[in-house]
Chains A and B, each alone.
Chain A
Amino acid sequence: MSETIENNASTDASAESSPVAGPVRRPRRGNLGVVLPPIFVGGLIVGVWYFVSYVLLDPDRRFLLKPPHEVWQVGFADGENLRYMLDALWVTAQVAFWGLLAAIALGFLLAIVMSQSKLIERAVFPYAVVLQAIPILAIVPLIGFWFGYGFSSRVFVCIIIALFPIIVNTLFGLVSADQGMHDLFTLHKAGRITRLRRLMFPAALPAIFAGLRISAGLSVIGAIVGDFFFGQGEVGLGQILKRFAARLQGEQLLAAVIVSSALGVTVFLTFGWIANRVVGKWAAESRGG
Protein backbone atom coordinates (compact mmCIF):
# COMPACT_ATOMS: atom_id res chain seq x y z
CA MET A 1 0.00 0.00 0.00
CA SER A 2 2.76 2.38 0.91
CA GLU A 3 4.10 2.45 -2.62
CA THR A 4 0.99 4.20 -3.85
CA ILE A 5 1.00 6.76 -1.12
CA GLU A 6 3.50 9.51 -1.31
CA ASN A 7 5.87 9.94 1.53
CA ASN A 8 6.00 13.50 2.60
CA ALA A 9 9.35 14.33 4.07
CA SER A 10 10.19 11.72 6.64
CA THR A 11 6.68 10.79 7.68
CA ASP A 12 5.99 7.09 7.47
CA ALA A 13 2.96 6.91 5.23
CA SER A 14 2.40 3.21 5.71
CA ALA A 15 1.50 3.67 9.35
CA GLU A 16 -2.24 3.99 9.18
CA SER A 17 -2.53 5.84 12.40
CA SER A 18 -0.19 8.62 11.38
CA PRO A 19 -1.62 10.55 8.46
CA VAL A 20 0.79 12.07 6.02
CA ALA A 21 1.44 15.76 6.35
CA GLY A 22 -0.94 16.15 9.21
CA PRO A 23 -1.95 19.57 10.40
CA VAL A 24 0.31 21.41 12.78
CA ARG A 25 -0.58 19.94 16.11
CA ARG A 26 -0.47 22.11 19.12
CA PRO A 27 2.27 20.77 21.32
CA ARG A 28 0.75 18.68 24.06
CA ARG A 29 1.65 20.38 27.30
CA GLY A 30 0.98 18.99 30.71
CA ASN A 31 -2.11 20.07 32.60
CA LEU A 32 0.04 22.30 34.77
CA GLY A 33 1.00 24.42 31.79
CA VAL A 34 -2.68 24.95 31.04
CA VAL A 35 -3.89 25.51 34.57
CA LEU A 36 -1.08 27.47 36.18
CA PRO A 37 -1.06 30.68 34.12
CA PRO A 38 -4.73 31.55 34.73
CA ILE A 39 -4.37 30.63 38.40
CA PHE A 40 -1.40 32.95 38.61
CA VAL A 41 -3.39 35.83 37.08
CA GLY A 42 -6.32 35.00 39.37
CA GLY A 43 -4.00 35.25 42.36
CA LEU A 44 -2.74 38.56 41.05
CA ILE A 45 -6.29 39.90 40.84
CA VAL A 46 -7.06 38.82 44.41
CA GLY A 47 -3.79 40.44 45.47
CA VAL A 48 -4.73 43.75 43.87
CA TRP A 49 -8.17 43.45 45.48
CA TYR A 50 -6.62 43.08 48.94
CA PHE A 51 -4.23 45.91 48.16
CA VAL A 52 -7.10 48.23 47.26
CA SER A 53 -9.18 47.18 50.31
CA TYR A 54 -6.44 47.46 52.92
CA VAL A 55 -3.89 49.90 51.54
CA LEU A 56 -5.64 52.33 49.23
CA LEU A 57 -8.92 52.67 51.09
CA ASP A 58 -9.19 54.31 54.49
CA PRO A 59 -10.70 51.96 57.10
CA ASP A 60 -13.85 54.08 57.21
CA ARG A 61 -14.22 53.85 53.46
CA ARG A 62 -13.44 50.13 53.26
CA PHE A 63 -17.12 49.33 52.74
CA LEU A 64 -16.61 50.43 49.12
CA LEU A 65 -14.59 47.31 48.43
CA LYS A 66 -14.75 44.63 51.07
CA PRO A 67 -11.73 42.29 51.03
CA PRO A 68 -12.16 38.88 49.34
CA HIS A 69 -12.39 36.77 52.50
CA GLU A 70 -15.24 38.89 53.88
CA VAL A 71 -17.07 38.55 50.56
CA TRP A 72 -16.60 34.82 50.87
CA GLN A 73 -17.80 34.69 54.48
CA VAL A 74 -20.84 36.89 54.08
CA GLY A 75 -21.74 36.06 50.48
CA PHE A 76 -21.01 32.35 50.12
CA ALA A 77 -20.23 30.77 53.47
CA ASP A 78 -23.47 32.06 54.94
CA GLY A 79 -25.97 29.32 54.07
CA GLU A 80 -29.01 31.53 53.96
CA ASN A 81 -27.48 34.04 51.57
CA LEU A 82 -26.05 31.27 49.40
CA ARG A 83 -29.45 29.61 49.14
CA TYR A 84 -31.00 32.97 48.24
CA MET A 85 -28.45 33.48 45.45
CA LEU A 86 -28.72 29.94 44.13
CA ASP A 87 -32.51 30.22 43.88
CA ALA A 88 -32.07 33.43 41.92
CA LEU A 89 -29.41 31.75 39.78
CA TRP A 90 -31.82 28.93 38.94
CA VAL A 91 -34.55 31.37 37.93
CA THR A 92 -32.15 33.34 35.73
CA ALA A 93 -30.59 30.24 34.21
CA GLN A 94 -34.01 28.96 33.13
CA VAL A 95 -34.91 32.27 31.51
CA ALA A 96 -31.55 32.41 29.74
CA PHE A 97 -31.90 28.81 28.55
CA TRP A 98 -35.36 29.21 27.05
CA GLY A 99 -34.44 32.59 25.61
CA LEU A 100 -31.39 31.12 23.93
CA LEU A 101 -33.37 28.16 22.61
CA ALA A 102 -35.99 30.44 21.11
CA ALA A 103 -33.29 32.71 19.65
CA ILE A 104 -31.60 29.70 18.08
CA ALA A 105 -34.84 28.47 16.51
CA LEU A 106 -35.77 31.91 15.21
CA GLY A 107 -32.23 32.78 14.16
CA PHE A 108 -31.79 29.51 12.23
CA LEU A 109 -35.09 30.00 10.49
CA LEU A 110 -34.27 33.55 9.43
CA ALA A 111 -30.73 32.67 8.37
CA ILE A 112 -31.89 29.68 6.32
CA VAL A 113 -34.56 31.71 4.58
CA MET A 114 -32.06 34.48 3.86
CA SER A 115 -29.50 31.98 2.55
CA GLN A 116 -31.99 30.75 -0.03
CA SER A 117 -32.67 34.07 -1.66
CA LYS A 118 -30.51 37.14 -2.04
CA LEU A 119 -33.70 39.19 -2.34
CA ILE A 120 -35.03 38.06 1.03
CA GLU A 121 -31.62 38.63 2.57
CA ARG A 122 -31.57 42.19 1.27
CA ALA A 123 -35.09 42.76 2.54
CA VAL A 124 -34.68 41.28 6.01
CA PHE A 125 -31.07 41.80 7.00
CA PRO A 126 -31.31 45.56 7.70
CA TYR A 127 -33.92 44.81 10.34
CA ALA A 128 -31.67 42.31 12.00
CA VAL A 129 -29.15 45.12 12.25
CA VAL A 130 -31.81 47.44 13.63
CA LEU A 131 -32.69 44.82 16.22
CA GLN A 132 -29.07 44.75 17.26
CA ALA A 133 -28.86 48.54 17.40
CA ILE A 134 -31.85 48.99 19.73
CA PRO A 135 -30.53 49.94 23.16
CA ILE A 136 -31.65 47.07 25.34
CA LEU A 137 -32.13 49.45 28.26
CA ALA A 138 -34.72 51.33 26.26
CA ILE A 139 -36.63 48.34 25.04
CA VAL A 140 -36.82 46.39 28.31
CA PRO A 141 -39.27 48.74 30.08
CA LEU A 142 -41.32 48.81 26.90
CA ILE A 143 -41.51 45.04 26.80
CA GLY A 144 -42.63 44.99 30.42
CA PHE A 145 -45.19 47.63 29.58
CA TRP A 146 -46.55 45.61 26.66
CA PHE A 147 -46.26 42.00 27.75
CA GLY A 148 -46.14 42.18 31.52
CA TYR A 149 -43.32 41.14 33.80
CA GLY A 150 -43.71 37.39 33.63
CA PHE A 151 -41.54 34.61 32.36
CA SER A 152 -42.34 35.11 28.69
CA SER A 153 -41.36 38.78 28.75
CA ARG A 154 -38.01 37.92 30.25
CA VAL A 155 -37.47 35.26 27.61
CA PHE A 156 -38.38 37.87 25.03
CA VAL A 157 -35.61 40.17 26.28
CA CYS A 158 -33.14 37.30 25.92
CA ILE A 159 -34.30 36.63 22.36
CA ILE A 160 -33.82 40.25 21.35
CA ILE A 161 -30.34 40.44 22.76
CA ALA A 162 -29.17 36.98 21.61
CA LEU A 163 -30.73 36.80 18.17
CA PHE A 164 -28.37 38.89 16.08
CA PRO A 165 -25.14 36.90 16.49
CA ILE A 166 -27.04 33.71 15.68
CA ILE A 167 -28.52 35.16 12.50
CA VAL A 168 -25.26 36.68 11.31
CA ASN A 169 -23.04 33.71 12.07
CA THR A 170 -25.47 31.13 10.74
CA LEU A 171 -26.04 33.09 7.54
CA PHE A 172 -22.32 33.65 7.12
CA GLY A 173 -21.73 29.94 7.66
CA LEU A 174 -24.45 28.82 5.28
CA VAL A 175 -23.04 30.85 2.41
CA SER A 176 -19.44 29.96 3.21
CA ALA A 177 -19.37 26.67 1.30
CA ASP A 178 -16.84 26.68 -1.50
CA GLN A 179 -18.11 27.36 -5.04
CA GLY A 180 -16.44 24.17 -6.23
CA MET A 181 -18.51 22.14 -3.78
CA HIS A 182 -21.64 23.89 -4.97
CA ASP A 183 -20.66 23.03 -8.55
CA LEU A 184 -20.25 19.43 -7.50
CA PHE A 185 -23.75 19.38 -6.04
CA THR A 186 -25.11 21.14 -9.12
CA LEU A 187 -23.47 18.61 -11.44
CA HIS A 188 -25.14 15.78 -9.62
CA LYS A 189 -28.48 17.49 -9.58
CA ALA A 190 -28.84 18.02 -5.87
CA GLY A 191 -32.05 19.79 -4.88
CA ARG A 192 -32.40 22.71 -2.50
CA ILE A 193 -32.98 20.57 0.58
CA THR A 194 -30.16 18.16 -0.22
CA ARG A 195 -27.80 21.06 -0.79
CA LEU A 196 -28.85 22.65 2.47
CA ARG A 197 -28.60 19.47 4.50
CA ARG A 198 -25.50 17.91 3.03
CA LEU A 199 -23.49 20.98 2.09
CA MET A 200 -24.54 24.32 3.49
CA PHE A 201 -25.53 23.31 6.99
CA PRO A 202 -22.45 21.21 7.80
CA ALA A 203 -20.25 23.91 6.27
CA ALA A 204 -21.94 26.41 8.57
CA LEU A 205 -21.36 24.47 11.80
CA PRO A 206 -18.10 26.12 12.90
CA ALA A 207 -19.59 29.58 12.38
CA ILE A 208 -22.85 28.53 14.02
CA PHE A 209 -21.00 27.48 17.13
CA ALA A 210 -19.01 30.70 17.18
CA GLY A 211 -22.35 32.54 17.14
CA LEU A 212 -23.88 30.27 19.77
CA ARG A 213 -21.06 30.98 22.16
CA ILE A 214 -21.60 34.70 21.88
CA SER A 215 -25.37 34.43 22.02
CA ALA A 216 -25.36 32.12 25.02
CA GLY A 217 -23.41 34.70 26.98
CA LEU A 218 -25.70 37.46 25.77
CA SER A 219 -28.78 35.46 26.73
CA VAL A 220 -27.50 35.27 30.30
CA ILE A 221 -26.99 39.03 30.27
CA GLY A 222 -30.48 39.47 28.82
CA ALA A 223 -32.00 37.37 31.57
CA ILE A 224 -30.25 39.41 34.25
CA VAL A 225 -31.03 42.77 32.64
CA GLY A 226 -34.69 41.84 32.17
CA ASP A 227 -34.98 40.74 35.76
CA PHE A 228 -33.15 43.85 36.96
CA PHE A 229 -35.56 46.18 35.21
CA PHE A 230 -38.78 44.31 35.77
CA GLY A 231 -38.01 43.89 39.45
CA GLN A 232 -41.14 41.85 39.95
CA GLY A 233 -42.21 38.23 39.88
CA GLU A 234 -39.77 35.45 40.56
CA VAL A 235 -36.54 36.73 42.01
CA GLY A 236 -33.60 36.29 39.65
CA LEU A 237 -30.01 37.47 39.71
CA GLY A 238 -31.01 40.89 38.40
CA GLN A 239 -33.30 41.59 41.30
CA ILE A 240 -30.89 40.46 43.97
CA LEU A 241 -28.14 42.58 42.40
CA LYS A 242 -30.47 45.51 42.62
CA ARG A 243 -31.46 44.82 46.22
CA PHE A 244 -27.91 44.30 47.44
CA ALA A 245 -26.84 47.48 45.72
CA ALA A 246 -29.73 49.47 47.17
CA ARG A 247 -28.93 48.22 50.67
CA LEU A 248 -25.21 48.83 50.24
CA GLN A 249 -24.56 45.19 51.07
CA GLY A 250 -21.12 45.20 49.49
CA GLU A 251 -20.15 41.61 50.28
CA GLN A 252 -23.42 40.15 49.00
CA LEU A 253 -23.35 42.37 45.94
CA LEU A 254 -19.87 41.23 44.98
CA ALA A 255 -20.85 37.61 45.63
CA ALA A 256 -23.87 38.00 43.35
CA VAL A 257 -21.69 39.56 40.65
CA ILE A 258 -19.35 36.60 40.91
CA VAL A 259 -22.27 34.15 40.63
CA SER A 260 -23.62 36.01 37.59
CA SER A 261 -20.26 35.93 35.86
CA ALA A 262 -19.83 32.28 36.75
CA LEU A 263 -23.11 31.50 34.98
CA GLY A 264 -21.93 33.34 31.87
CA VAL A 265 -18.54 31.63 31.93
CA THR A 266 -20.11 28.20 32.41
CA VAL A 267 -22.40 28.72 29.44
CA PHE A 268 -19.48 29.96 27.33
CA LEU A 269 -17.33 26.97 28.23
CA THR A 270 -20.17 24.54 27.70
CA PHE A 271 -20.74 25.73 24.16
CA GLY A 272 -17.01 25.68 23.48
CA TRP A 273 -16.96 22.08 24.61
CA ILE A 274 -19.95 21.12 22.50
CA ALA A 275 -18.41 22.86 19.48
CA ASN A 276 -15.22 20.96 19.97
CA ARG A 277 -17.10 17.68 20.17
CA VAL A 278 -19.08 18.37 17.02
CA VAL A 279 -16.63 20.09 14.67
CA GLY A 280 -13.29 19.61 16.41
CA LYS A 281 -12.54 16.44 14.48
CA TRP A 282 -12.65 18.02 11.09
CA ALA A 283 -12.60 21.82 11.32
CA ALA A 284 -9.36 23.35 10.10
CA GLU A 285 -8.75 25.36 13.21
CA SER A 286 -10.75 24.95 16.35
CA ARG A 287 -9.87 26.35 19.69
CA GLY A 288 -11.80 24.78 22.48
CA GLY A 289 -12.59 26.72 25.59
Chain B
Amino acid sequence: MLAEVGASRVRVETSESGGEKMAETALSFRNVSMTFPDGTRALSDVSVDIRKGEFVTIVGPSGCGKSTLLKIASGLLDATAGEIAVDRDRIGYVFQDATLLPWRTVRRNVELLAELHGIGKAERATLAQDAIELVGLKGFENHYPKSLSGGMKMRASLARTLTLKPPVFLFDEPFGAVDEITRERLNEETLRLFEQERFAGLFITHSISEAVFLSTKVYVMSARPGRLVASFDVPFSYPRQPELRFDARFAEICGHVSHALRGAHS
Protein backbone atom coordinates (compact mmCIF):
# COMPACT_ATOMS: atom_id res chain seq x y z
CA MET B 1 0.00 0.00 0.00
CA LEU B 2 2.83 2.35 0.79
CA ALA B 3 4.65 3.64 -2.20
CA GLU B 4 8.31 3.98 -1.51
CA VAL B 5 9.89 7.15 -2.69
CA GLY B 6 13.57 6.98 -2.03
CA ALA B 7 16.22 9.50 -2.92
CA SER B 8 17.45 7.71 -5.97
CA ARG B 9 21.06 8.57 -5.36
CA VAL B 10 21.09 6.19 -2.45
CA ARG B 11 19.41 2.91 -1.66
CA VAL B 12 15.72 2.55 -2.30
CA GLU B 13 14.03 0.32 0.22
CA THR B 14 12.22 -2.62 -1.20
CA SER B 15 8.73 -3.21 0.05
CA GLU B 16 9.78 -6.39 1.90
CA SER B 17 12.51 -4.77 3.90
CA GLY B 18 10.12 -3.06 6.29
CA GLY B 19 7.97 -6.10 6.90
CA GLU B 20 5.21 -5.73 9.43
CA LYS B 21 6.42 -2.41 10.75
CA MET B 22 6.15 -0.73 7.36
CA ALA B 23 2.46 -1.43 7.22
CA GLU B 24 1.75 0.99 10.00
CA THR B 25 4.51 3.54 9.47
CA ALA B 26 3.02 6.30 7.39
CA LEU B 27 6.14 8.43 7.01
CA SER B 28 9.69 7.41 7.56
CA PHE B 29 13.01 9.18 7.17
CA ARG B 30 16.08 6.99 7.24
CA ASN B 31 19.49 8.73 7.57
CA VAL B 32 18.30 11.67 5.51
CA SER B 33 20.85 14.37 4.73
CA MET B 34 20.45 17.42 2.62
CA THR B 35 23.13 19.66 1.17
CA PHE B 36 22.04 22.46 -1.11
CA PRO B 37 23.89 23.09 -4.37
CA ASP B 38 25.53 26.15 -2.82
CA GLY B 39 27.10 23.90 -0.20
CA THR B 40 24.76 24.78 2.67
CA ARG B 41 24.23 21.71 4.81
CA ALA B 42 20.60 21.81 5.86
CA LEU B 43 20.07 18.38 7.36
CA SER B 44 22.40 15.75 8.62
CA ASP B 45 21.48 12.12 9.18
CA VAL B 46 17.87 12.54 10.24
CA SER B 47 15.87 9.42 11.03
CA VAL B 48 12.24 9.58 12.13
CA ASP B 49 9.32 7.16 11.87
CA ILE B 50 5.79 8.40 12.17
CA ARG B 51 2.92 5.98 12.45
CA LYS B 52 -0.68 6.62 11.71
CA GLY B 53 -2.26 8.16 14.78
CA GLU B 54 1.03 9.64 15.86
CA PHE B 55 1.67 13.37 16.08
CA VAL B 56 5.34 14.20 15.93
CA THR B 57 6.69 17.72 16.32
CA ILE B 58 10.14 19.00 15.59
CA VAL B 59 11.26 22.12 17.42
CA GLY B 60 14.39 23.96 16.56
CA PRO B 61 15.86 27.39 16.11
CA SER B 62 15.02 29.40 13.02
CA GLY B 63 16.88 28.34 9.92
CA CYS B 64 17.85 24.94 11.26
CA GLY B 65 16.42 23.06 8.30
CA LYS B 66 13.08 22.06 9.81
CA SER B 67 11.10 23.21 6.79
CA THR B 68 13.55 21.49 4.46
CA LEU B 69 12.57 18.21 6.08
CA LEU B 70 8.94 18.73 5.13
CA LYS B 71 9.84 19.72 1.60
CA ILE B 72 11.80 16.49 1.31
CA ALA B 73 8.93 14.46 2.78
CA SER B 74 6.51 15.92 0.26
CA GLY B 75 8.84 15.61 -2.71
CA LEU B 76 9.23 19.35 -3.31
CA LEU B 77 12.93 18.77 -2.69
CA ASP B 78 15.08 15.68 -3.15
CA ALA B 79 17.34 14.66 -0.30
CA THR B 80 21.01 14.26 -1.17
CA ALA B 81 21.26 11.11 0.94
CA GLY B 82 19.02 8.74 2.83
CA GLU B 83 15.63 7.17 2.28
CA ILE B 84 12.11 8.44 2.60
CA ALA B 85 9.07 6.22 2.61
CA VAL B 86 5.68 7.86 2.31
CA ASP B 87 2.54 7.70 0.22
CA ARG B 88 2.60 10.98 -1.64
CA ASP B 89 -0.72 10.52 -3.38
CA ARG B 90 -2.74 12.52 -0.93
CA ILE B 91 -0.16 14.17 1.25
CA GLY B 92 -1.42 17.04 3.36
CA TYR B 93 0.84 20.05 3.55
CA VAL B 94 -0.04 23.15 5.51
CA PHE B 95 2.33 25.94 4.61
CA GLN B 96 3.71 28.74 6.74
CA ASP B 97 1.48 31.13 4.82
CA ALA B 98 -2.13 30.29 4.13
CA THR B 99 -1.37 30.44 0.35
CA LEU B 100 -5.01 31.01 -0.48
CA LEU B 101 -5.73 32.07 -4.04
CA PRO B 102 -6.96 35.66 -3.62
CA TRP B 103 -9.33 35.42 -6.59
CA ARG B 104 -11.24 32.52 -5.09
CA THR B 105 -13.77 32.64 -2.30
CA VAL B 106 -13.19 30.52 0.79
CA ARG B 107 -15.38 27.78 -0.67
CA ARG B 108 -13.57 27.73 -4.01
CA ASN B 109 -10.21 27.80 -2.25
CA VAL B 110 -11.15 24.84 -0.11
CA GLU B 111 -12.30 23.01 -3.24
CA LEU B 112 -9.00 23.59 -5.04
CA LEU B 113 -7.13 20.42 -4.12
CA ALA B 114 -10.09 18.19 -4.86
CA GLU B 115 -10.29 20.00 -8.19
CA LEU B 116 -6.62 19.33 -8.90
CA HIS B 117 -7.16 15.68 -8.06
CA GLY B 118 -10.00 15.48 -10.55
CA ILE B 119 -12.80 14.95 -8.07
CA GLY B 120 -16.26 15.71 -9.47
CA LYS B 121 -18.14 18.89 -8.75
CA ALA B 122 -20.81 17.50 -6.46
CA GLU B 123 -18.40 15.50 -4.33
CA ARG B 124 -16.04 18.44 -4.21
CA ALA B 125 -18.74 20.69 -2.85
CA THR B 126 -19.64 18.19 -0.12
CA LEU B 127 -16.02 17.69 0.86
CA ALA B 128 -15.45 21.43 0.99
CA GLN B 129 -18.56 22.12 3.03
CA ASP B 130 -17.66 19.44 5.57
CA ALA B 131 -14.12 20.77 5.88
CA ILE B 132 -15.32 24.37 6.21
CA GLU B 133 -17.66 23.39 9.02
CA LEU B 134 -14.95 21.35 10.69
CA VAL B 135 -12.64 24.37 10.97
CA GLY B 136 -15.44 26.71 12.01
CA LEU B 137 -15.64 28.85 8.90
CA LYS B 138 -19.32 28.22 8.27
CA GLY B 139 -20.90 31.45 7.11
CA PHE B 140 -17.70 32.67 5.48
CA GLU B 141 -17.86 30.46 2.40
CA ASN B 142 -18.35 33.35 0.02
CA HIS B 143 -15.76 35.67 1.49
CA TYR B 144 -12.59 36.47 -0.37
CA PRO B 145 -9.29 35.93 1.46
CA LYS B 146 -8.57 39.66 1.64
CA SER B 147 -11.47 40.10 4.05
CA LEU B 148 -10.32 37.35 6.42
CA SER B 149 -8.08 37.71 9.45
CA GLY B 150 -4.79 35.82 9.63
CA GLY B 151 -6.29 33.13 11.82
CA MET B 152 -9.27 32.62 9.53
CA LYS B 153 -7.00 32.35 6.50
CA MET B 154 -5.10 29.61 8.31
CA ARG B 155 -8.38 27.83 9.02
CA ALA B 156 -9.30 27.99 5.37
CA SER B 157 -5.88 26.60 4.53
CA LEU B 158 -6.43 23.75 6.99
CA ALA B 159 -9.86 23.06 5.53
CA ARG B 160 -8.39 22.93 2.05
CA THR B 161 -5.92 20.26 3.16
CA LEU B 162 -8.62 18.35 5.05
CA THR B 163 -10.70 17.80 1.91
CA LEU B 164 -8.14 15.25 0.76
CA LYS B 165 -8.44 13.31 4.03
CA PRO B 166 -4.68 12.94 3.96
CA PRO B 167 -3.16 10.00 5.83
CA VAL B 168 -0.05 12.12 6.34
CA PHE B 169 -0.33 15.72 7.48
CA LEU B 170 2.70 18.01 7.30
CA PHE B 171 2.55 21.34 9.13
CA ASP B 172 5.22 23.93 8.40
CA GLU B 173 4.99 26.42 11.28
CA PRO B 174 1.44 27.14 10.25
CA PHE B 175 0.58 29.36 13.20
CA GLY B 176 3.80 31.34 13.39
CA ALA B 177 2.24 34.51 12.03
CA VAL B 178 -0.87 34.73 14.21
CA ASP B 179 -1.15 36.24 17.65
CA GLU B 180 -0.74 34.12 20.79
CA ILE B 181 -4.44 33.87 21.64
CA THR B 182 -5.41 32.85 18.13
CA ARG B 183 -2.53 30.43 18.03
CA GLU B 184 -3.70 28.67 21.18
CA ARG B 185 -7.18 28.36 19.77
CA LEU B 186 -5.89 27.04 16.46
CA ASN B 187 -3.77 24.54 18.40
CA GLU B 188 -6.86 23.27 20.15
CA GLU B 189 -8.64 22.91 16.84
CA THR B 190 -5.70 21.14 15.27
CA LEU B 191 -5.87 18.71 18.17
CA ARG B 192 -9.57 18.17 17.55
CA LEU B 193 -8.87 17.45 13.88
CA PHE B 194 -6.14 15.01 14.88
CA GLU B 195 -8.34 13.28 17.43
CA GLN B 196 -11.03 12.91 14.81
CA GLU B 197 -8.97 11.98 11.73
CA ARG B 198 -6.03 10.22 13.40
CA PHE B 199 -3.64 10.99 10.59
CA ALA B 200 0.12 10.75 10.92
CA GLY B 201 1.17 14.30 11.79
CA LEU B 202 4.54 15.96 11.38
CA PHE B 203 4.52 19.45 12.81
CA ILE B 204 7.31 22.02 12.64
CA THR B 205 7.45 24.88 15.10
CA HIS B 206 9.71 26.89 17.33
CA SER B 207 7.11 27.15 20.06
CA ILE B 208 7.80 24.63 22.79
CA SER B 209 4.37 24.76 24.42
CA GLU B 210 2.71 24.31 21.03
CA ALA B 211 4.90 21.27 20.43
CA VAL B 212 4.19 19.62 23.75
CA PHE B 213 0.50 20.45 23.68
CA LEU B 214 -0.07 18.80 20.30
CA SER B 215 2.32 15.92 20.13
CA THR B 216 2.81 12.35 21.04
CA LYS B 217 6.50 12.90 20.52
CA VAL B 218 8.72 15.99 20.36
CA TYR B 219 12.10 16.06 18.68
CA VAL B 220 14.65 18.81 19.16
CA MET B 221 16.65 19.82 16.13
CA SER B 222 20.05 21.50 16.31
CA ALA B 223 21.12 24.54 14.34
CA ARG B 224 22.46 24.03 10.83
CA PRO B 225 23.04 21.40 9.75
CA GLY B 226 19.84 20.17 11.39
CA ARG B 227 20.25 17.02 13.44
CA LEU B 228 17.78 15.47 15.83
CA VAL B 229 19.56 15.81 19.15
CA ALA B 230 16.86 14.81 21.63
CA SER B 231 13.42 13.30 21.71
CA PHE B 232 10.68 13.38 24.31
CA ASP B 233 7.59 11.23 24.58
CA VAL B 234 4.59 13.20 25.69
CA PRO B 235 2.56 10.89 27.92
CA PHE B 236 -0.79 12.73 27.90
CA SER B 237 -3.63 10.88 26.24
CA TYR B 238 -6.06 12.29 23.72
CA PRO B 239 -8.46 14.03 23.75
CA ARG B 240 -6.51 16.77 25.44
CA GLN B 241 -8.07 19.79 27.10
CA PRO B 242 -6.76 23.37 26.93
CA GLU B 243 -6.21 23.21 30.71
CA LEU B 244 -3.44 20.72 30.07
CA ARG B 245 -1.22 23.73 29.55
CA PHE B 246 -1.46 24.53 33.27
CA ASP B 247 -0.54 21.01 34.35
CA ALA B 248 2.68 20.75 36.32
CA ARG B 249 3.82 17.74 34.26
CA PHE B 250 3.19 19.75 31.10
CA ALA B 251 5.47 22.49 32.41
CA GLU B 252 8.05 19.91 33.34
CA ILE B 253 8.19 18.45 29.83
CA CYS B 254 8.36 21.94 28.36
CA GLY B 255 11.28 22.57 30.66
CA HIS B 256 13.11 19.50 29.42
CA VAL B 257 12.51 20.42 25.79
CA SER B 258 13.64 23.96 26.45
CA HIS B 259 16.80 22.70 28.12
CA ALA B 260 17.60 20.42 25.20
CA LEU B 261 16.93 23.25 22.78
CA ARG B 262 19.38 25.52 24.59
CA GLY B 263 21.96 22.77 24.49
CA ALA B 264 21.42 22.30 20.78
CA HIS B 265 21.64 25.99 20.11
CA SER B 266 24.93 26.70 21.85
A, B: real partners: yes
Interface presence of A41 (CB below 8 A)? no
Number of A-B residue pairs with CB-CB distance less than 8 Å in the complex they form: 84
Q: Which residues from chain A contact B99 at a C-beta distance below 8 Å?
A: 178, 180-181, 183-184
Taken residue by residue from 134 to 176, chain B's Cβ proximity to chain A (1 for < 8 Å, 0 otherwise) reads as: 0111111001111111111000000000000000000000000
Write the chain A residue with the least CB distance to B143.
A19
Interface presence of A46 (CB below 8 A)? no
- The answer to whether A8 and B149 have CB atoms under 8 Å apart is yes
A interface residues, tally (CB under 8 Å): 33
| Distance of A283 Cα from B104 Cα, bound (Å) | 10
| Distance of A188 Cα from B135 Cα, bound (Å) | 22
- Given A8-B149, A183-B76, verify A284-B102 contact (CB < 8 Å): yes
| Distance of A9 Cα from B137 Cα, bound (Å) | 19
A interface majority secondary structure: loop
Q: Which residues from chain A contact B140 at a C-beta distance below 8 Å?
A: 5, 16, 19
Q: Which residues from chain B contact A20 at a C-beta distance below 8 Å?
A: 148-149, 152
- The answer to whether B101 and A190 have CB atoms under 8 Å apart is no
Interface presence of A199 (CB below 8 A)? yes
Interface presence of B113 (CB below 8 A)? yes
Q: Which residues from chain B contact A185 at a C-beta distance below 8 Å?
A: 116
Q: Which residues from chain A contact B135 at a C-beta distance below 8 Å?
A: 4
Interface presence of A23 (CB below 8 A)? yes
B interface residues, tally (CB under 8 Å): 38
- Shortest CB distance A179–B (Å): 9
| Distance of A279 Cα from B113 Cα, bound (Å) | 23
Q: Which residues from chain A contact B181 at a C-beta distance below 8 Å?
A: 6
Interface presence of B13 (CB below 8 A)? no
Interface presence of B74 (CB below 8 A)? yes
Write the chain B residue with the least CB distance to A184.
B99
- Shortest CB distance A169–B (Å): 17
- Shortest CB distance B14–A (Å): 25
Interface presence of B95 (CB below 8 A)? yes
Interface presence of A146 (CB below 8 A)? no
- The answer to whether A19 and B148 have CB atoms under 8 Å apart is yes
Q: Which residues from chain A contact B148 at a C-beta distance below 8 Å?
A: 19-21
The answer, among A1, A4, A16, A21, for a CB contact under 8 Å with B189, is A4
Interface presence of B182 (CB below 8 A)? yes
| Distance of A185 Cα from B146 Cα, bound (Å) | 21
| Distance of A8 Cα from B182 Cα, bound (Å) | 10
Within 8 A of B (CB), among A162-215: 178, 180-181, 183-190, 194, 198-199, 202-203, 205
Interface presence of A282 (CB below 8 A)? yes
- The answer to whether A19 and B101 have CB atoms under 8 Å apart is no
Interface presence of A233 (CB below 8 A)? no
Q: Which residues from chain A contact B144 at a C-beta distance below 8 Å?
A: 281-282
Interface presence of A22 (CB below 8 A)? yes
Max count, chain B CB within 10 A of own CB: residue among A5, A185, A279: A5
| Distance of A118 Cα from B144 Cα, bound (Å) | 32
Write the chain A residue with the least CB distance to B192.
A4
- Shortest CB distance A168–B (Å): 21
- Shortest CB distance B183–A (Å): 10
| Distance of A194 Cα from B117 Cα, bound (Å) | 11
Interface presence of B91 (CB below 8 A)? yes
- Given A6-B152, A188-B113, A284-B146, verify A1-B101 contact (CB < 8 Å): no
Q: Which residues from chain A contact B102 at a C-beta distance below 8 Å?
A: 282-284
- The answer to whether A187 and B147 have CB atoms under 8 Å apart is no
For this complex, 11 residue pairs linking A to B, each with C-beta atoms less than 8 Å apart, are: A6-B182, A8-B149, A23-B146, A180-B95, A180-B97, A181-B101, A183-B76, A184-B112, A188-B116, A202-B101, A283-B102
Known: A20-B148, A189-B116. 15 other contacts (CB 8 A): A4-B189, A6-B152, A6-B181, A6-B185, A19-B143, A20-B152, A21-B150, A180-B96, A183-B76, A184-B99, A187-B75, A188-B116, A198-B115, A203-B101, A205-B103
On A, residues with C-beta under 8 Å from B are 1, 4-6, 8, 16, 19-23, 178, 180-181, 183-190, 194, 198-199, 202-203, 205, 279, 281-284
Closest 7 A/B residue pairs (Cβ):
A4-B136, A19-B147, A21-B149, A180-B99, A188-B116, A16-B139, A282-B144
